[in-house]
A and B are shown apart, each in its own frame.
Chain A
Amino acid sequence: MGALAGVRVLDLCDEKGAFAGKLLAGLGADVILVEPPGGSALRRVPPFWQGAPHAERSLFFWFYGAGKRGITLDWRTAGGAATLRRLAARADVLIESEPPGTLAALGCGSAALRAGNPRLVVASITPFGRTGPYRDWRASDTVAQAMCGIFFLNGHRDGPPLRSLGLQAYHQAGIFAAVGVVSALLARDVSGRGQDVDVSLQAAVAASLEHVPGFWHQMGLVAARQGTLHWTRYFCVGRCRDGWVMHCTLGDWTSLVEWMKADGMGAELDDPALEDIKTRQAEADRLFAALDAWAARYTVEELHEDAQLRRIPYAAVRPPEALLRDPHLAERGFFVPIEHPDLGLTVPYPGAPFRLTDAPWRVARPPRLGEHDAEVLAELR
């Protein structure tokens, strides 16, 4: 049984907040995705299974909808809003990502919902938060990434800033919304009352930077992008015979230099001064040039394997699909085969981000449009 078994969540979110409900469902909560009668907008987002657009074949929807039950309800009408209030009266949590004030205008704001259910936790995921001068501003994931500082950091010095792979503003906001929801549930055990959780895409990613705010506050430094050279200057992508590798000069330096020497190379790195990590940081450019010259002898996978045998934290630079073939993840059962009976298809879904060994993660198929309408309405009677 999942950790959140027995917790009922109404999920009104669009793509901005969809990751929150996915996490809560994975933790075992009964997450009911509330879709408009025409289906969630996520169902129209590519990519699609076998390419052709279809409401039941959006892989984007499959990813974010996994593990949720689904009902159709037009809560933007007066009748639909009344049904939503009845659903909320029996729920523990409602998560939404509407512009601030939208639900309140329909009589479904958190205060109105808590009048019927004082224990309800209401989480809102909005571009900039529910208060402040930008509260009504809009954002896509890209715009949120721009406004939070992550975008400026990525890319080569002479190229444009680059957004990150994956909808990281939406994902971090989803994580913090789930953190806020479980915190509010724990607080409810003491107070008996629910509360509001207000999550901003911008702040969620601003809190997922590493050195940027600290270095500004401490020394007025505006961190610049520098390709794959890590800000600590201990990591940089280099070239092997057949591809890319991530160099690391932070780990066991002595072993790395001994290895190079055994290959008849790296004499210029055999310098006691370089045993000090501060020196290695200062001389990063020279070090990575020497390491590149040496790495060219190896294939990516040879270098990765040999380094790990020596406990040197090098890594192959791989495409994401390599994870699907990774024997390590296979043995851990990271991917979970999920059946889509209507399509005669079984697909490995990415599974638990972490393992609660006494409360297993739950992966399940996303709902068909309106699949649980009757079931959920029957529960209301």
Chain B
Amino acid sequence: MRPLDGIRVLDFTWVVAGPVTTRILADLGAEVIKVERRGSLDFGDRRGGLSGTLMRGKKSILVDLNDPRGLDLARRLAAVSDVVIDNFSARVMTNLGLDYEALVQLRPDVICVRMTGFGLTGPDHDHVSYGPTLQALTGYTLLMAEPDGPPAGFGYSYSDLAGGNLGALAVLAALWHRRRTGRGQLVDLAQLETAASVLGPVLLERAANGGTTAPVGNASQEAPAAPHGVYPCAGEERWIAITVFGDAEWERFATAIGRPAWTRDERFATRSGRERHAGELDRLVAAWTRGQQADEAMAALQRAGVAAGRVANAEDLCARDPQLAARGHFVDVPTPEGRTVRIDGAPFVLSETPAAVSGPGPLLGEHAVEVLAGVLGLGGEDIAALRASGVLG
């Protein structure tokens, strides 16, 4: 049993943010039917890799929504779906006649999730965006930088992931609300606002104290800590992150690295002294780490009770991390073609009703017959006619 057994999601999402929401719903047991268009952006092999990780466990149908017959199929599917979700810019679903006002006529308790860039209201509601442009507007791009350095923020669309993960929470909350009240609803998710919501205390700081925000590089953004940051290790592009908050951790750190003379320097004896002389301390710590293998230093520091971790690259993460491996973070999924693809699984464990990858990514239109016959009860002749006319891929 999974928590969303029996829930059907009609999924018009594409690129990244929307598919991230619906992959979590699929992991939780929902039947997710992707309504796809020809020629939309994709990321290669649909079974595995990035695409497979985004589309895992979903069904795919290819429908021409510009044809009235295609639109009719979409509307009939919406009528038997618990959740209808898209991440187009605001006007698209309205122009198609598939916005909440239209869907609620087909199914009064529908949960309609609109994951737009800027939301359905407000002067900028019709603006166009992608993850990187939203990150630019919310401060990540500018402030992820070395002190006084040029912008260096996110070389990927983190905001798509933040918005996608929060989108799953929105759907779950709306399903809970429907269980209690019998009512569906419209969910207006602006990815500008999801990105702003995970900035953390900085917005409150500016609101309460005024001032401007400067880049802090790798300094602690929680309790003050020194040493704190990322330090170079032996080898090319090997780094270790170390955080030492209090005196007890400082003692453990000094012991773990063999108590060189500088660890007994009076300036470093107290937490405030270490913070005051953080620059000097960083240089001394880096001089030590440069002679260390990142993996060995990480293990030695962790054995001593110090928070330390190698700066993991893709290979470390996917092929050389015993923790993620032991937790089954990546899963091998068989494909109908007899291949096996390795993709991400759900990152949380439910002890009694665990989330699980339902299958690999679907091929484009793979489930047309299953969905149209199984869900809508269409006969073989009708389906063939739709195919012949190009309405169905």
Contact = CB atoms under 8 A, between A and B. Distances in A.
A134 B245 CA distance: 20
A211 B139 contact: no
Contact of B309 (A51, A147, A353, A358): A147
Contacts of B146: 155, 159-160, 162
Interface centre among A151, A166, A314, A324 (most CB of B within 10 A): A166
Contacts of B152: 154-156, 159, 162, 227-228
Interface in A175-218: 175-180, 182-187, 189-191, 193, 195-200, 202-204, 206-218
Contacts of B167: 354
A186 B172 contact: yes
B285 interface: no
B129 to A, nearest CB: 5
B54 to A, nearest CB: 8
Contacts of A321: 139, 203, 206, 212-213
A235 B132 contact: yes
B274 to A, nearest CB: 15
A206 B350 contact: no
Interface in A1-58: 3-4, 6, 15, 23, 27, 41, 44-47, 49-51
B32 interface: no
Contacts of B241: 140, 142-143, 145-147, 151, 163
B223 A44 contact: yes
Contacts of A357: 185-188
Contacts of A41: 223
B327 A334 contact: no
A293 interface: no
Given A131-B326, A311-B128, A358-B177, A47 B122 contact: no
Contacts of A176: 165, 347-348
Interface stretch (B255-263, B315-323, B365-373): B315-323
A221 B361 CA distance: 20
B377 to A, nearest CB: 27
Interface in B235-272: 239-243, 245
Contact of A328 (B122, B186, B330, B353): B122
- Chain A interface size, as a band, is 35 or more
Given A146-B310, A316-B137, A357-B185, A165 B153 contact: yes
A124 to B, nearest CB: 10
Given A146-B309, A320-B206, A355 B189 contact: yes
A353 B348 contact: no
Contacts of A139: 243, 307, 309
A312 interface: yes
Interface string B283-311: 00000000000000000001001111111
Interface stretch (B65-73, B224-232, B381-389): B224-232
Interface string A292-308: 00000000000000001
Contacts of A149: 312-314, 316-317
Contact of B165 (A200, A208, A214): A208
B208 A345 contact: yes
B196 A334 contact: yes
Interface string A335-353: 1000000000101111011
Contact of B145 (A162, A179, A196): A162
Contact of B221 (A131, A154, A166, A180): A166
Contacts of A104: none
Interface residues of B, number: 153
A134 to B, nearest CB: 4
Contact of B156 (A211, A219, A349): A211
Contacts of B179: 186, 189
Given A183-B28, A228-B152, A148 B312 contact: yes
Contacts of B240: 146
Contacts of A253: none
Given A60-B201, A149-B317, A227-B155, A206 B53 contact: no
A238 B220 CA distance: 28
Interface string A131-142: 111100111111
Contacts of B121: 331-332
A62 interface: yes
Contacts of A334: 193, 196
A221 B50 CA distance: 12
A141 B221 contact: yes
B84 interface: no
A213 B319 CA distance: 10
Contact of B196 (A51, A348, A350): A350
A320 B213 contact: yes
Given A195-B351, A206-B329, A164 B140 contact: yes
Contact of B193 (A45, A151, A168, A329): A329
B128 A4 contact: no
A129 interface: yes
Interface in B314-358: 314-319, 321-324, 326-327, 329-330, 341-344, 346-353, 355
B201 A142 contact: no
B218 A209 contact: no
A246 interface: yes
Contacts of B156: 153, 209-212, 230-231
Contacts of A246: 132-133, 135-136, 141
B380 interface: no
Nearest to A310: B128
Contacts of A148: 312, 317
A347 to B, nearest CB: 5
Contact of A191 (B50, B141, B189, B353): B353
A353 B224 CA distance: 28
Contact of B327 (A64, A196, A203, A358): A203
A308 B16 CA distance: 22
7 contacts: A146-B239, A166-B221, A191-B353, A214-B51, A237-B151, A352-B193, A358-B181
| Nearest 10 Cβ contacts at the A-B interface | A320-B139, A214-B50, A218-B49, A315-B133, A146-B241, A358-B185, A140-B243, A353-B197, A207-B347, A132-B326
Given A250-B130, A320-B202, 5 more contacts: A45-B222, A59-B208, A161-B239, A195-B352, A214-B51
